[in-house]
Amino acid sequence: MGRVFEFKIGLLLSFLFLIVSLGNAATIVVSPKGQEKVISNAFEIAQNGDTLIVQSGVYQEGAMILKKGITIIGEGTPVIDGQNKFENLLVEHDNVRIQGIVFKNSGSSSFTDIAALKIKNSKNIVIENCVFENNFFGIHTINSSYISYLNNELISGMTKGKPSSNGIHCWKSNHLTLKNNTVKGHRDGIYFEFVTQSTIENNHSVGNKRYGLHFMFSHDNLYKKNEFRGNGAGVAVMYSKRVHMINNLFAENWGNAAYGVLLKEIDDSKIENNIFQENTIAILADGANRIQIFNNQFTKNGWALKIQASCSDVELNKNNFIANTFDLATNGNLVMKSMDGNYWDKYEGYDLNKDGVGDVPYRPITFYSLIIERNPGALMLFRSFFVKLMDKAESVFPSLTPENLKDTAPIMRKIKHSVNDTVFKYQ
Amino acid sequence: MKKVVKYVAFDILRNKIVIAYMLFLFVFSMGLFLMEEVPEKSLMSLLTLNLILVPLISVMFSTIYIYNSSEFIELLAAQPIRRKSLWLSFFIGLASALAIAFFIGCGIPILLFSANSVGITMIITGLLLSVIFVSVSMFSSVYIKDKTKGIGVALLIWLYFSLLFDGVVLFVLFQLLEYPLEKLIIGLSILNPIDLVRIISLLKMDVSALMGATSAVFKQSFAGNIGSIISFVVLLLWMVLPLYFSVRKFDKKDL
């Protein structure tokens, strides 16, 4: 009985304490016209749990450092300006929430990673509805966990002569959530290094100078419903395990070294229900093991798939291949785990028993694609009559193309995928 | 000379084969444009057809025409016309007639459906190809007296330029795999007008990114302002050189 009573008292006390501490949470208003004009001063005054309301205006306060767990709310799009010299804001405390602030004109440097917003050694941080304009790094995350970036917009690369670095840059962090962000004109749109157990959902990485998404050593991450479009070199992902990419759109990554997705040393990963459209190479896999490529749509790519012989146990099922110049290319004796049940628009076989599955296997590797893999100079003969004739002869009597690379059950009609998600509205 | 040109040109334009060629080109290219929603794709298919058909028709038709009118040529040679202008007027007649046929058959549909830089390039290169192969056929037919042999050689010329040459190129490229091939590729593509036209057209199209580093090399040499002048000059040489040698030969030929 006594113990229960004590417990109740304890509960009551802690509840009271909670109320008191909530009551203590003050609201500080910063405004160019108000009492408190300087954000850094407000940082000094504020206690953990306080709310800082920043009203519209331009704040040029050099490099700000926040070491308290407060909420910052921007009213009427206040601007924190780095004057092209400073790091706008460095956060080094847990439990911070920042909403509706415009971060502008961070400094740039070849020696240090100057970011508009840097988060270091922190936990439980939410950055929401913020705008990042004309910065070197947009958001830089170091050694932090449980961080959310929601509905932010990062645009850079508009000032001539000013270098731009990565949009959302994360290093050695875990449990991140990136949702509904838009990154444009940065070097890499989203960059991860040693980032684990994170979710990247519904982001738009468009027109970045190098990669739309670039990650290394980042295991167990989920990439869902994102759009990667028109980036200089597409998307490159390396040295990671258990990556799951689902319902993404990879489009218009067009150029001599641009890839829809470059998979370099990726293991145990799934690529499902994505759309690859108008990329020079939709997927280039090098040293990738146990990759499952299911239910994807490959349309109008130069090469739909380039899978190097260094890959093993790749599974390729139920994908649609439509209007690609080459469906599959490889550089040696590639062995796939399975490659069945895809739809290939170049398939010329028949289906006598009308079960929707072609009766003769389809070989996606053409003779010419083998030749240019060995001798790029042979691209001089691209689309020539000679090449067409050669391919035709080889497809009638296959002798040089790899014997085991074939789809034994090619589907006769285009497969309907359940990818009618938000991604589709960008088509 | 004018009279001869007029006569030859009209004679050819009234020819059933040329009309059929023109109609076929027209129907085919119209069909392609109407079937396909994206004009670039139809242009691509049209390019493939043009690269095969235009040289074939040009070289075969003009060879046969010249052999068939050998008596007429002899008759005209007896008239007070200079041999040079006689031969040139035959060339102009043939070339203009085939070029007109190509322009009506292929050029008008392209202008209707895709009058952009790619389309214009296709028309210009198609016209050049027509004229080049007339010139090549005149070169071969002036050296060979026998009709059957001449037609056989014309067929071989077409086969060489559209197929065998590419085979040789592939062979050479594999033999010299270990060496930097960029300059060699440029040199090789200059040696075949069909290849050159194909590369110029592909460079104009979006697919050039597929060609990787090779395309960058080609772009340097054949695209852009100086590049287009270079490629145009090369094609012009292909037109002028065979013609020049054939005129020289015809001047001294014992008819």
By Cβ distance, the residue of A254, A325, A379 closest to B212 is A379
Cα torsion angle, A155, A159, A160, A161, sign: negative
CB contact under 8 A, B173 and A375: yes
The answer to whether the beta carbons of residues A371 and B170 sit under 8 Å apart is: yes
Q: CA-CA distance, B179 to A2, in Å (whole number)? A: 92
Specify the range with the lowest mean pLDDT, choosing from A194-198, A231-235, A370-374, B190-194.
Answer: A370-374
Is B48 part of the contact surface with chain A (CB cutoff 8 Å)?
yes
Burial profile A379-417: b = 16 or more Cβ within 10 angstroms, e = fewer: bbbbbbbbbeebbeebbeebeebbeebbbebbbeeeeeb
pLDDT at B118 over 70: yes
DSSP designation for A75: E
Calpha distance A178→B176 (Å, rounded) = 51
The C-alpha atoms of residue A425 and residue A144 are separated, in whole angstroms, by: 34
Task: State the pLDDT at residue A17.
Answer: 54
Going from N- to C-terminal start, the domains of chain B cover 2-252
Write down the pLDDT at residue A34.
86
Nearest CB among B162, B173, B189 relative to A378 is that of B173
For the residues of A182-224, what is the DSSP string, one character each? Answer: EEESSSSSEEEEEEES-EEES-EEES-SS-SEEEES--S-EEE
Per-residue tokens: B165: 């040459």
The pLDDT confidence band at residue A419, using thresholds 50, 70 and 90, is low
Chain B contact set for A376 (CB, 8 A) = 212-214
Tell me which chain A residues have a C-beta less than 8 angstroms from the C-beta of B177: 374-375
Give me the pLDDT at residue B184, please.
86
Question: Quick one: residue B83, left, alpha or beta (phi over 0 = left, psi -120 to 50 = alpha)?
Answer: alpha
Stretch A345-365: mean pLDDT: 91
Query: Which CATH entry fits the domain spanning A22-320: 3.20.20.105, 3.30.70.980, 2.160.20.10, 3.40.50.1370?
Result: 2.160.20.10
**pLDDT-based confidence at A425, cuts 50/70/90?**
very low
The verdict on a CB contact (< 8 Å) between A382 and B174 is: no
pLDDT over 90, % of chain A:
66
Q: What is the pLDDT of residue B208?
A: 63
| Predicted confidence (pLDDT) per residue in A386-408, tens digit | 998 888 888 888 777 888 889 99
Segment 96-135 of chain B within 8 Å of chain A by CB: none
* Distance of alpha carbon A79 from alpha carbon A97, whole angstroms: 17
A371 with B170: Cβ contact below 8 A: yes
- Which of B189, B210, B218 is facing A325, going by the closest CB pair? B210
The C-alpha atoms of residue B85 and residue A133 are separated, in whole angstroms, by: 72
Number of other residues whose CB lies within 10 A of the CB of residue B158: 23
pLDDT at A427: 36
Q: What is the mean pLDDT of residues B136-153?
A: 94
How sure is the predictor about B238, in pLDDT bands with cuts at 50, 70 and 90? Answer: very high
Beta strands in chain B (DSSP E): none
Taking the Cβ of residue B220 and every Cβ of chain A, the question of whether any pair is shorter than 8 Å is answered with no
Report pLDDT digits (tens) over A89-116. 999 999 999 999 999 999 998 888 999 9
pLDDT exceeds 70 at position B32: yes
SS3 per-residue string spanning A121-160: CCEEEEEECCEEECCCEEEEEECCEEEEEECCEEECCCCC
- The pLDDT score that the predictor gives to residue A144 is 96
pLDDT of residue B11: 87
- Looking at residue A225, its pLDDT comes to 93
Hey, which residues does A73 pair with through a beta bridge?
Answer: A53, A99
Nearest chain B alpha carbon to A387: B166
Give pLDDT, residue A12. 58
Given pLDDT bands bounded at 50, 70 and 90, which one contains residue A426? very low
d(CA A229, CA A184): 10
CA-closest candidate to residue A368, choices A351, A393, A350, A347: A393
pLDDT in tens, A154-206: 999 777 788 889 999 999 999 999 999 999 999 999 999 999 999 999 999 99
Encoded tokens for A113: 């990673």
B156 in reach of chain A (CB within 8 A): no
With a cut of 70, say whether residue A422 has pLDDT above it.
Answer: no
Chain B residues 168-197 with CB within 8 Å of chain A: 169-170, 173-174, 177, 181, 184-185, 188-189, 195
Structure tokens at A332: 């040696």
Beta bridge partners of A29: A53
pLDDT range class, residue B254, cuts 50, 70, 90: confident
What is the distance between the alpha carbons of residues B136 and B96, in angstroms, rounded to a whole number? 15
Could you give the dihedral angle defined by the CA atoms of residues B190, B192, B194 and B195, in that order, rounded to the nearest 10 degrees? -60
Are A385 and B202 a contacting pair at CB < 8 A? Answer: no
Residues in chain A with CB shorter than 8 Å from the CB of B209 are: 254-256, 258, 280, 302
Q: Say yes or no: B207 contacts chain A, CB-CB below 8 A.
A: yes
**In this predicted model, which residue has the larger pLDDT, B41 or B166?**
B166
Inform me whether the pLDDT recorded for A423 exceeds 50: no
CB pair distance less than 8 Å for B177 and A374: yes
